[in-house]
Amino acid sequence: MEQTPLAERMRPTTLDQLIGQEHLSGPNTFLHKAIKAGTVPSLILWGPPGVGKTTIANIIANEVKAPFYTLSAVSSGVKDIREVIQKAKYQLGVVLFIDEIHRFNKSQQDALLGAVEKGVIRLIGATTENPSFEVNAALLSRCQIFTLNPLGREELEAMMIQALENDTVLKKKKVVLKETDALLRISGGDGRKLLNLLEIVIDSIKSEEIIIENELVMQVAQQKVALYDKSGEQHYDIISAFIKSIRGSDPNAAVYWLARMIEGGEDVKFIARRLLILASEDIGNANPNALLLATNCFQAVNVIGYPESRIILSQCVTYLASSPKSNASYMAINTAQALVKQEGDLPVPLHLRNAPTKLMKDLNYGKAYKYSHDYENNFAFQEFLPDKIKGTKLYDPGQNARENDLRKNLQKLWGKKYGY
């Protein structure tokens, strides 16, 4: 028992023992009722690392008394899936839990379809990635999606207190949980990592009374915890430094932080996805080619994978960092959304409405609309915004060569209307 990590020893086996995720496990929730009734459907659990995805899968299997099989998408293939499906044909209500299901390719996911649809297995998939992007639509349509929330400070501290009071190993020791900030910060909200870190700190102290303080935790962590963790605070700190280096037009710093992530085993798709967002958010119309390159980079690294994808990532990173910057498009949509929330659903001006029926035409739908291509320079001066907000400028081109050209064109077309 003592050789098993604390997080595994403390893994709940019933809903009553689960800390956090009350929106899923509470008495009046769909999942709680389905588990108690033994009618759990196939489902996908989506959330950050260490918030209870595997635990909930185990609780389901335990509470519905079902045969339970586990596969990891990292190490399993179609052959493993078919073996479980074959066994399930001779058992009732089999639950198949697949961890990191987003890592399964299309053929692997397709191998599950028939068994899920016919009810041969009840699939529970766990993923840290948005299932809309990473799980086939056909499989997704056969599963309920449940989103798990990050664990808050109170929940994480409750997990530690529960472990100190109930774990057969730790309750024999006199442990005082004086400070928790360092434990919470290093674990990055990951409950599994938090409990295992707590155990590492306790095991490092050879005295009758163990007082957990921030300084002690940091000393132990620096000696025994990996420097880069894909799901902890380092992950978020490094991606933050990476993005800010590109935004700050420093290709040298950007490629350094890229190397840190590569050497730490960061998911190549995660890096490429962030570059895709940045190309539009921070560069935008200052250099439209940035988005094209980032899109091609995302597609290429998904095909290539490590180690060769590091070269493609480096090309994209250095190009984006060296490119002129503008957040004008990003600010435009933020301002527009704020305006929509403020003003509500303003009516579409009559001249802009479609008029497919005689009644609509009689109501002046589409009347006085000017078809731009019938006018000189393909432009006709008219109002396109609702009356209440007419003349509101939402897009203000950035101060760079390309957007200055856009600004001059808008000035020529609209004059003083929008103040370009």
Contact 24, 56 (CB under 8 A): yes
Which one is predicted more confidently, 125 or 72?
125
Radius of gyration of the CA atoms of the chain, in A: 28
CATH class of 153-224: mainly alpha
Contact 70, 99 (CB under 8 A): yes
Distance CA(48)–CA(399), nearest Å, equals 39
- Matching fold, domains 21-147 and 344-414: no
Q: Domain 344-414: give its CATH architecture.
A: Orthogonal Bundle (1.10)
Average pLDDT, the chain: 87
Q: Is the pLDDT at 228 greater than 70, yes or no? A: no
Q: Is the pLDDT at 247 greater than 70, yes or no? A: yes
| Tally of CA atoms within 13 A in the half-sphere of 417 that contains its CB | 15
Q: Domain 233-322: give its CATH architecture.
A: Up-down Bundle (1.20)
Give the neighbor-by-neighbor strand order of the sheet with 144-147: 68-72, 94-99, 121-127, 43-46, 144-147
Q: What is the pLDDT of residues 254-279, one digit of tens each?
A: 999 999 888 777 888 889 999 999 99
Measured on CA atoms in the order 101, 107, 111, 113, is the torsion positive or negative? positive
Average pLDDT over residues 158-186: 87
pLDDT value for 230? 54
- In DSSP terms, 68 is beta-bridged to 95
Q: Which two tokens stand for residue 198?
A: 């707590």
Domain boundaries, the chain: 21-147, 153-224, 233-322, 344-414
- In terms of Cβ atoms closer than 10 Å to its own Cβ (0-12, 13-18, 19+), residue 227 is exposed
CA 173-176-180 angle, 5° bins: 125
Residues above pLDDT 70, as percent of the chain: 96
Which region among 1-10, 64-73, 180-189, 403-412 has the lowest average model confidence (pLDDT)?
A: 1-10
Kindly give, in sequence order, each residue whose CB lies less than 8 Å from that of residue 48, ignoring residues fewer than 6 positions away. 128, 148, 150, 189, 190, 231
pLDDT value for 185? 82
Q: Is the pLDDT at 1 greater than 50, yes or no? A: no
Q: Is the pLDDT at 229 greater than 60, yes or no? A: no
Instruction: Name the residue among 143, 195, 144 with its Cα closest to residue 166.
Output: 195
Residues making up the chain, counted from first to last: 420
Q: Decide if domain 21-147 falls under CATH 3.40.50.300.
A: yes
Q: Is the pLDDT at 322 greater than 90, yes or no? A: yes
Contact 194, 153 (CB under 8 A): no
CA 17-21-24 angle, 5° bins: 100
Average pLDDT over residues 92-104: 87
Element (H, E) at 174: strand 174-177
Which region among 181-185, 226-230, 231-235, 318-322 has the lowest average model confidence (pLDDT)?
A: 226-230
Contact 55, 195 (CB under 8 A): no
Binned at pLDDT 50, 70 and 90, residue 180 comes out as: confident
Q: Is the pLDDT at 215 greater than 90, yes or no? A: no
Amino acid in position 13: T
Q: Is the pLDDT at 236 greater than 80, yes or no? A: no
pLDDT value for 286? 94
Distance CA(149)–CA(216), nearest Å, equals 29
Distance CA(201)–CA(210), nearest Å, equals 9
Average pLDDT over residues 240-266: 89
Average pLDDT over residues 101-127: 87
pLDDT value for 246? 95
pLDDT value for 333? 93
Average pLDDT over residues 374-379: 89
Binned at pLDDT 50, 70 and 90, residue 225 comes out as: low
